[in-house]
Structure 1
Amino acid sequence: MEQKELSFVFEIIQQQIEALEQYLTQSPIQHQQAISALKLLKTSIRNLEVFKEEIQTNLESIKTVEQEILQQNETLILERQVYHDLFKLTPNAYFVTNAEGIILEINYAAAALLNVFPSLLIGKSLINFVAQQEHQLFLSKLKESLNEKSVQELEVSIYPRDRPAFDAILLVKAGRETSGANGALQICLYDITKYKRLAVPDRMPSLSATIESPNKLDGLRILLVDDEADTRELIAAILMQYGIVVTTVATVAEALQELERSRPDVIISDIRMPDEDGYALIRKVKALEAEKGWQIPTAALTAYLAEDRKKAIAAGFQSHLHKLAQPTELIAMVAQLANRV
Structure 2
Amino acid sequence: MRQEEFSYFIEIIQQRIAALEQYLIKSSIPEQQALSALNDIKTNIQNLRLFQTEIQDNLELIKTLEAELLEQNETLVSERQVYHDLFKLAPNAYLVTNGEGIILEINYTGAALLNVLPSLLIGKSLMNFVAQQEHQFFLNKLKECLNEKSVQELEVSICPSGKQVFVALVLVKAGRETSGALGALQICLHDITKYKQSAVPEQISSLTAPIRIPNRLDGLRVLFVDDEADTRDLIAAVLMQHGVVVTTVATVAQALQQLERSRPDVIISDIRMPDEDGYTLIRHIKAIEAAKGWQIPTAAISAYLAEDRTKAIKAGFQAHLHKLAPPTELIAMVAQLANRV
**TM-score, scaled to structure 2:** 0.52
The range that moved more, 32-41 or 73-82, is 73-82
Q: Secondary structure, in 3 states, of the residue corresponding to 1:180? A: coil
Tell me if structure 2 keeps the 8 A contact 1:101–1:127: yes
TM-aligned CA deviation for residue 10 of structure 1: 3.8
Q: Which amino acid is 2:63 matched to?
A: K
What is aligned with 1:241?
A: none
Alignment CA distance shift 1:184-1:17 (3 Å)? closer
Query: Residues 1-341 of structure 1: matches in 2 within 5 Å?
Result: 3=3, 6-7=6-7, 10=10, 13-14=13-14, 17=17, 21=21, 30-199=30-199
Alignment CA distance shift 1:105-1:44 (3 Å)? same
CA distance in 1, matches of 2:12, 2:144: 74
TM-aligned CA deviation for residue 104 of structure 1: 1.2
CA distance in 2, matches of 1:48, 1:72: 36
Tell me if structure 2 keeps the 8 A contact 1:25–1:35: no
Alignment CA distance shift 1:166-1:51 (3 Å)? same
Q: Which amino acid is 1:141 matched to?
A: K
Alignment CA distance shift 1:198-1:41 (3 Å)? same
TM-aligned CA deviation for residue 63 of structure 1: 2.0
Q: How many residues align?
A: 200
Q: Secondary structure, in 3 states, of the residue corresponding to 1:77? A: helix
TM-aligned CA deviation for residue 109 of structure 1: 0.6
Find the structure with the greater CA-based Rg. Answer: 1
Tell me if structure 2 keeps the 8 A contact 1:88–1:108: yes
CA distance in 1, matches of 2:73, 2:4: 33
Gaps of 5+ in 1: 201-341
**TM-score, scaled to structure 1:** 0.52
Q: Which amino acid is 2:122 matched to?
A: I
Q: Which amino acid is 1:156 matched to?
A: V
Q: Secondary structure, in 3 states, of the residue corresponding to 2:116? A: coil
Alignment CA distance shift 1:131-1:6 (3 Å)? closer
TM-aligned CA deviation for residue 122 of structure 1: 1.0
TM-aligned CA deviation for residue 179 of structure 1: 1.2
Q: Which amino acid is 1:104 matched to?
A: L
Tell me if structure 2 keeps the 8 A contact 1:153–1:171: yes
CA distance in 2, matches of 1:114, 1:79: 29
Alignment CA distance shift 1:194-1:40 (3 Å)? same
CA distance in 1, matches of 2:56, 2:102: 53
Q: Secondary structure, in 3 states, of the residue corresponding to 2:181? A: coil
TM-aligned CA deviation for residue 91 of structure 1: 0.9
1:268-308, CA deviations, whole angstroms, 9 ceiling, x for partnerless residues?
xxxxxxxxxxxxxxxxxxxxxxxxxxxxxxxxxxxxxxxxx
Q: Secondary structure, in 3 states, of the residue corresponding to 1:53? A: helix
1:43-65, CA deviations, whole angstroms, 9 ceiling, x for partnerless residues?
11111111111111112212222
Alignment CA distance shift 1:164-1:33 (3 Å)? same
CA distance in 1, matches of 2:27, 2:120: 92
The range that moved more, 176-185 or 190-199, is 190-199
TM-aligned CA deviation for residue 107 of structure 1: 0.7
CA distance in 1, matches of 2:133, 2:17: 93
Alignment CA distance shift 1:199-1:46 (3 Å)? same
- Root-mean-square deviation (Å): 2.7
Q: Which amino acid is 2:90 matched to?
A: T
Q: Secondary structure, in 3 states, of the residue corresponding to 1:187? A: strand
CA distance in 2, matches of 1:85, 1:118: 14
1:244-278, CA deviations, whole angstroms, 9 ceiling, x for partnerless residues?
xxxxxxxxxxxxxxxxxxxxxxxxxxxxxxxxxxx
Q: Which amino acid is 1:74 matched to?
A: E
TM-aligned CA deviation for residue 84 of structure 1: 1.5
CA distance in 1, matches of 2:154, 2:26: 99
Q: Which amino acid is 2:51 matched to?
A: F
Q: Which amino acid is 2:129 matched to?
A: F
TM-aligned CA deviation for residue 196 of structure 1: 3.4
Q: Which amino acid is 1:146 matched to?
A: L
